[in-house]
Amino acid sequence: MTTFVLVHGAWYGPWAWERVAPFLHEAGVRTVTPTLTLEGDAGLGTHVQELVTILDQEAAGDGGVVLVGHSYAGLVVRQAADQRPGLVRHVMMIDGWAGGDGESLFSLAPDAFVTVISRSARASAGGRHVPAPQPERFGVTDPEDARVLARRLRPQPLRTFTEATRLSGAVDRIPGTAIFCHPPTFPFEQFGKAVGYRTLPLDGPHDVMSTHPREVARLLIDLHTGR
SS3 of 174-227: the string is CCEEEEEEECCCCCHHHHHHHCCCEEEEEECCCCHHHHCHHHHHHHHHHHHHCC
Residues 17 and 209 sit within 8 Å (Cβ to Cβ): yes
Q: Which domains does the chain have, with CATH numbers?
A: 3-225 (3.40.50.1820)
Nearest 5°: the CA angle 10, 91, 117 is 20
State pTM to two decimals. 0.96
**C-alpha distances in Å from residue 125, one per residue of 24, 46, 128, 135:** 40, 21, 8, 22
Question: pLDDT tens-digit profile of 170-202?
Answer: 999 999 999 999 999 999 999 999 999 999 999
Q: Which helix (H) or strand (E) holds 81?
A: helix 73-83
Residue 61 pLDDT level (bands cut at 50, 70, 90): low
Question: pLDDT tens-digit profile of 105-162?
Answer: 999 999 999 999 999 999 988 899 999 999 999 999 999 999 999 999 999 999 999 9
Q: Is 40 helix (H, G, I), strand (E, B) or coil?
A: coil
